[in-house]
Structure formats: C-alpha cells, structure tokens
Structure 1
Amino acid sequence: MSPLNSFLYSVPLLFILIVRCCWLVCVEVPSDTEALHGTNMKLTCISCMKREEVNTDTIVDWTYTANGGKEISIYEYNGEPRELKGPFQGRILWNGSKDLQDVSITIVNVTLNDSGLYQCKIKRHFNYEMHRPSVKNVKEVQLTVHEDALEDFTSYISEIMMYLLLVFLTLWLVIEMIYCYRKISKSEKAAQENATDYLAIPSGNKENRSIVPVEE
C-alpha cells in the first residue's frame, strides 16, 4: 500500500482511537478488503459488547474459504490465542484487545493465494447466576490480494485535485501577467500622449512668466 493510501487510511483510524480513548465506547470498524502481495494485512473484526455483557467467556474462530474452495479454520481464541495447522501456519498474528471486543488478526506476507472469504465467528457465554445463555456473531471479510501497487479511489481524487489546483494557479498567473502588461502599456501610452501634447504647445505659451520691472 502506498504512503498516501496508508496516511489516508490512518486518519480515520486515529480519529476512532481518540474517540475510544476519550469516550470509552466501542466502535465497529469495517476491515480493509484489499492487500498488496508480500505485505502484512490486518483483518479487522470488532464486536462491541454492551454494559450487561461484560461478564462473558468469549470464543473466537477465524475461518478461510478460497474462491470456490472449502471452508477451513485457521485461527482460534479460547482462553488464549492459538494458531491452527494449515496454509496460514506461521503467518498469523493475534491483534485482539484485552476485553475481546477487538478480535482482529494479521496475516504476514500475504500471497495471491490468500484471496478469498474470511469469517470471524464470535461466541460469547454470559456468566449469570441462574443460567448461562450464549450469543453468536459472524463478520465477513472478502479479501483480494493484488500483485501490483494499489491505487484506490481516494488517491485518484487527490491527484485530480492537485492537477486542477496547478491549472488554476497557472491560469491565474497568466491572467495577472496580461493585466499588468496592459496596465503598463496604457501608462506608457498616456505618458507618450502627454509628451506629444506638450511638444505641440508653442514655446511662448509653455512658460507664463511675469515680468517684474527693475527700479533704479
């Protein structure tokens, strides 16, 4: 992912982090769905709990289904994170939070074969005194891995805006130069006309001096 894209993606994530820290709320952020071959890709999975759901036991199962393939389990959390055997063994890092509202993972060194459907299956058991109900939640991430650098819509818009700004500044500069040139030309023309009119005046009228008689 290009530096510009990374920056653009980091701005909303930073804002979300500030909100979470200041207001102590959980914000469910959708995961990125495109990755570049050979880079690390975070599969975001956030499932917010309500206040009455705090006392729970959480089980997480990450699965992967290749395009037209069979669903396989690749990672799980049941008291602690555990990597499973398979094509992703040795390439998955746990990025979950302590309160297990964020149960994201990161795939290291993604390949073109990693494209497919990922499912984050969350099961919470509530620890009540009289009964122990449970609730399930499933989040999906359809990942596409590209071989070449990604150019998303935002980068295209940024480049277009930059070119439009350059064109606007160029046109403004040309207009200012034309305006100044015409103003200078008018000033020079007016000066020449004044000089011509002055030369056309008879010499006797150019100076109107009063003669003062000299007394002896």
Structure 2
Amino acid sequence: MRSWWHTSLYSVSLLIMLFVRSCWLVCVEVPSDTEALHGTNMKLTCISCMKREEVNTDTMVEWTYVSNDGKEISIYEYNGEPREVKGPYQGRLLWNGSKDLQDVSITIVNVTLNDSGLYRCTIKRYFNYEMHRPSVTDVKEVQLTVHEDEMIYCYRKILKSEEAVQENATDYLAIPSGNKENHSTVPVEE
C-alpha cells in the first residue's frame, strides 16, 4: 500500500511539474492599449511569440515613430541590449521587454499631445546556422491617441460604452405586428 501511495504521489508531482513548465512556455500576443492621458506613462505593448524553431536566434528590435507624412523616425533599438536613439524621445523611453525577447515593449514617460500617432515595432530574428543566417521579421503597429483632459477622456469612454449598450439593447426591442406602420418600439418584457 505504501509503495502505491509513493508511486501515485510521484506521478502526480511529475504531472504538476510538466504542467507548470508548459505554462511558462505559453506566449500570448495581445494588442497594445491605444489611448493615454496627457502627463501619464504609456506602455506600448509589442509581443512577438517565438515558434519552437526560433528559440536559437539572435533578436533585433527597432521601434519607430511614423510621422503624418509617412517618414519613420527611429526612437528605440535592441541589439543585444536596449538602447535609446538620439532624438525627440531621448530620456523619455523605458525598456519593458522580457528576457526571452518575446515581449519587446517600451514605455513613454510623461506622454504629451505630440506623442499621438503611429508607432511601429519591428522584430527581426536571425537563425544561427553554420552555412547561412536566414531571418524572420514581425511588425506590430500601435496607433496612439493622447487625450488632454481626463474628463474628456472619461466622457468619450462612457459614450462609447453607452453606444455599445444601446446597440445591444436594440436586440431586445420588438415591434408588435399591429403597430408596424407607426414605427413605435415597445420593449420586450421579461
């Protein structure tokens, strides 16, 4: 009986370890938040999950700001280590990337209205083969809108949620067949 107990406990422990280990390997690509309030910090999320064959690669990352006329301005790089690029964002960017370089996010400190616009995150992974170095590239974009006033920002959020509620509410309205000509709507009672 005791040996059965030890074998079962060992098996359960092994399964738990395998489950926990597999949980660590999970990567989920989530989109970045796209709205910020003037004067706050804003994380620009860029997650690029690696495929199994990409684990043994060298990763390079470039963050750029795309101006209204389409010109790309380099603002941050990662090539073995994170580095700010000299320019309008210098001193205002923080690296939020993970050690495994699947998350290569950055944070803009103290966002201003001028920070509104399109940001592009380009991840390039170079394979470490002896004869050649093929690569794979992944590009993510974040369209950032910076709001000046918290009240306006909150009002817009509330307005959007109310519009969504109204759209969903129309699914619960019914027009009785005898009243179709006068287009009056009557809520369905539960």
Provide the TM-score with structure 2 as the length reference.
0.68
Give runs of aligned pairs for residues 148-159 of structure 1, distance below 5 A: 148-149=149-150, 150-151=153-154, 152=157, 156=161
Identity among equivalent positions (%) equals: 83
Q: What is the letter of the counterpart of residue 99 of structure 1?
A: D
Question: 2:147 is matched with which residue?
Answer: 146
Question: 2:84 is matched with which residue?
Answer: 83
Question: RMSD between aligned alpha carbons?
Answer: 2.3
- Whether 1:125 and 2:110 are equivalent positions in the alignment is no
Cα separation, partners in 2 of 1:153 and 1:133, compared to 1, 3 Å: farther
Q: What is the letter of the counterpart of residue 149 of structure 2?
A: D
Q: Secondary structure at the match of 2:122?
A: strand
The structure with more helix, counted as a fraction of residues: 1
**Which stretch has the larger CA shift, 59-68 or 25-34?**
59-68
Render the CA deviation track for 1:97-132: whole Å, top value 9, x for unaligned.
Answer: 000000000000000000111000111001123432
Give runs of aligned pairs for residues 51-130 of structure 1, distance below 5 A: 51-68=52-69, 70-130=71-131
Question: 1:198 is matched with which residue?
Answer: none
Cα separation, partners in 2 of 1:58 and 1:40, compared to 1, 3 Å: same
| Alpha-carbon shift at residue 136 of structure 1 (Å) | 0.9
C-alpha contact 1:66 1:115 (8 A) present in aligned 2: no
Q: What is the letter of the counterpart of residue 50 of structure 1?
A: K
Q: What is the letter of the counterpart of residue 32 of structure 1?
A: D
| Alpha-carbon shift at residue 155 of structure 1 (Å) | 8.4
Q: Secondary structure at the match of 1:76?
A: strand
C-alpha contact 1:121 1:137 (8 A) present in aligned 2: yes
Give runs of aligned pairs for residues 13-52 of structure 1, distance below 5 A: 22=23, 24-52=25-53
Q: What is the letter of the counterpart of residue 142 of structure 2?
A: V
Give runs of aligned pairs for residues 193-204 of structure 1, distance below 5 A: none
Q: What is the letter of the counterpart of residue 129 of structure 1?
A: E
The structure with more strand, counted as a fraction of residues: 2
C-alpha separation between the residues in 1 aligned to 2:26 and 2:92? 31
Render the CA deviation track for 1:13-63: whole Å, top value 9, x for unaligned.
Answer: xxxxxx998352110000011110000000000000011110000000000
Show structure 1 runs of 5+ residues with no match.
Answer: 1-18, 161-216
Render the CA deviation track for 1:152-208: whole Å, top value 9, x for unaligned.
Answer: 259845xx8xxxxxxxxxxxxxxxxxxxxxxxxxxxxxxxxxxxxxxxxxxxxxxxx
| Alpha-carbon shift at residue 81 of structure 1 (Å) | 0.3
Greater Rg over alpha carbons, structure: 1
Q: Secondary structure at the match of 1:123?
A: strand
C-alpha separation between the residues in 1 aligned to 2:93 and 2:22? 27
Show structure 2 runs of 5+ residues with no match.
Answer: 1-19, 166-190
Q: What is the letter of the counterpart of residue 89 of structure 2?
A: F
| Alpha-carbon shift at residue 65 of structure 1 (Å) | 1.6
